[in-house]
Amino acid sequence: MFTFIDLFAGIGGIRIACERNKGKCVFSSEWDKFAQKTYQENFNELPNGDITAIEEKSIPSHDFLNAGFPCQPFSSIGKREGFEHKTQGTLFFEVTRILKHHETKMILLENVPGLITHDNGNTFKVIQDVLKNELGYTIFHKVINAADHGVPQVRKRVYIVGFLQDKYKKDIKFDWPKADKKDKYINEFLENHPSGYNISKHLQGSYLFKKDDGRPQLIDKDSKIKVKTLVSTYHKIQRLTGTFVRDGETGIRLLSENECKAVMGFPKDFKVPVSRTQMYRQFGNSVAVPVVEKIVHQILKTSKTYIKNN
Ligand SMILES: C[S@@+](CC[C@H](N)C(=O)[O-])C[C@H]1O[C@@H](n2cnc3c(N)ncnc32)[C@H](O)[C@@H]1O
């Protein structure tokens, strides 16, 4: 058993991955009311709100910190004036102040791959520098495609794993999970005419197939493929970046709730007590559970192997 905290918890995708590895959640934070609702329904716990308003000392001590911190507010991270300077509006520093106070042994951070190249790599340099040199972590990072780990969706994310140097042997190494031998494809999961997901003929004409504008991926029962990344704005089909199903009364529909669960690797019985719009937003913001479950497994294995026996 290990204890963990769930920051920027969303609907708890990382929590499911940790619980499957026998972790016990001792604190969660998520400020979005709708995500809180889904989280509470599934984990019987209302997450704490705005992390910027929570004192680090009021958070229980824990072995493992998880954070899929939001990716938008990075603009000023490289221009920070010092570690203690907390005015950047950069939520990464919410994570670091908690790490600093608690001297958390293990960490897992998740983000979009763009984090690595943002501001010519400067943002990621600062993140690595702070974790290594100011907080004393040995860190490893990798961009992993969830499609290689048991879901029928292309979803590339950067994962940063860290171990507090003081607690671990110097020669610590980390092996990232190996890709599954067998791929999963969307056709296995498509439903027959689920109701309420049709895209009207009007919308199809005006947006979906507008000339020179995007390339929606159209799939059907024979599609032995992986769907495009489920994004939080999937329901706004003007974006045209998504995957749509040839099915239903109007000929084309959105992915259903159950199909979203499948492409994100969520359990079938996961409850979704919110509107359809919120449902897409929440899954689109979340993690593909199986890949995180495997990474957490590797983190725990590494921790066991390299922990100092004081
Ligand atoms: C990329 S999502 C993480 C989703 C999560 N990993 C999951 O499995 O669902 C980031 C989340 O951080 C939340 N968030 C942003 N700012 C916050 C803050 N100041 N305090 C608490 N939560 C915040 C957002 O509402 C969003 O749900």
CATH number for the domain harbouring residue 31: 3.40.50.150
| Rounded distance from Cα 163 to ligand 1 centre (Å) | 23
How is the beta sheet containing 2-7 ordered, strand by strand?
A: 23-28, 2-7, 64-67, 106-111, 156-164, 137-145
Identify the pLDDT of residue 212.
52
| Residue 217, helix vs strand vs coil | strand
For residue 79, the CA-to-ligand 1 centroid distance in Å is 24
Q: Which amino acid is at 206?
A: S
Asked if 201 and 273 sit in the same domain, the reply is yes
How far is residue 64's CA from residue 2's CA, in Å, rounded to a whole number? Answer: 8
287 pocket-lining for ligand 1 (C-beta < 6 Å) = yes
What are the tokens at 6?
A: 């769930």
Considering the domain architecture, whether residues 58 and 175 belong to the same structural domain is answered as yes
173 and 300 belong to one structural domain: yes
Same domain, yes or no, for 302 and 165? yes
Ligand 1 atom with minimal separation from the 14 CA: 8
Q: What is the pLDDT of residue 235?
A: 81
Instruction: Return the best residue to mutate from 11, 18, 30, 232 for the ligand 1 pocket (most ligand atoms within 8 A of CB).
Output: 30
Query: Are the CB atoms for 201 and 228 separated by under 8 Å?
Result: no
The answer to pTM > 0.85 is yes
What digits encode the pLDDT tens for the residues 274-303? 999 999 999 999 999 999 999 999 999 999
Position 89 scores a pLDDT of 44
Q: Is residue 190 lining ligand 1, measured as CB closer than 6 Å?
A: no
* CA of residue 12 to ligand 1 center, whole Å: 10
Q: What is the mean pLDDT of residues 125-147?
A: 96
The 8-class DSSP code of residue 201 comes to H
Q: Is the distance from CB of 78 to CB of 129 less than 8 angstroms?
A: no
Please choose from 90, 260, 285 the residue to mutate so as to test ligand 1's pocket, defined by most ligand atoms within 8 A of CB: 285
Residues 118 and 198 in one domain: no
Rounded to the nearest whole angstrom, what is the distance from the C-alpha of residue 279 to the centroid of ligand 1? Answer: 15
Task: Output the CA–CA distances (angstroms, integers) from residue 228 to 159, 219, 248, 308, in the order listed.
Answer: 20, 11, 21, 43
Residue 194 belongs to a domain with what CATH number?
3.90.120.10
Which ligand 1 atom is at minimum distance from the Cα of 9? Answer: 5
Asked whether residue 127 falls in the same domain as residue 167, the answer is yes
- Report the C-alpha gap between 58 and 19 in whole angstroms: 23
Where in the sequence is the domain holding 205, given as residue range(s)?
Answer: 186-285
pLDDT tens digits along 180-225: 999 999 999 999 999 999 998 888 877 666 655 557 789 999 999 9
**Each residue's pLDDT tens digit, 270-281:** 999 999 999 999
Predicted pLDDT at 121: 86
- The candidate with the shortest Cα–Cα distance to 264, out of 165, 154, 181, is 154
Distance 174 CA to ligand 1 centre (A): 27
Relative to the CA of 94, which ligand 1 atom is closest? 19
CA distance from start to end of the chain: 20
Query: Measured from the CB, is residue 150 less than 6 Å from ligand 1?
Result: no
pLDDT tens sequence across 213-257: 557 789 999 999 999 999 888 887 655 568 999 999 999 999 999
Q: Among 4, 7, 8, 115, name the best residue to mutate to test ligand 1's pocket (greatest count of ligand atoms within 8 A of Cβ).
A: 8
Q: Specify whether 65 is located in the same domain as 82.
A: yes
| Residues 221 and 88 grouped into a single domain | no
State the Cα–Cα distance between residues 235 and 177, nearest whole angstrom.
32
109 lines ligand 1 (CB under 6 A): no
Count of structural domains, the chain? 2
Same domain, 148 and 295: yes
Alpha carbon distances (Å) from 99 to 11, 39, 56, 108, 242: 23, 24, 9, 12, 37
pLDDT digits (tens, 9 = 90+) for 71-90: 655 544 445 443 344 434 47
**Catalytic residues, which ones?**
71
Residue 246 sits in the same domain as residue 291: no
Mean pLDDT of 43-60: 97
Q: Are residues 140 and 232 in the same domain?
A: no
List of residues 6+ apart from 17 with CB closer than 8 A: 287, 289, 292, 293, 295, 296
Among 15-19, 89-93, 217-221, top mean pLDDT goes to: 15-19
Q: Do 130 and 235 have their domain in common?
A: no
Q: Which residues of 279-298 are buried (b: 16+ CB within 10 A; e: fewer)?
A: bbbbbbbbbbbbbbbbbbeb
* Closest ligand 1 atom, residue 15 Cα: 8
**What's the CA-to-centroid distance between 113 and ligand 1, angstroms?**
17
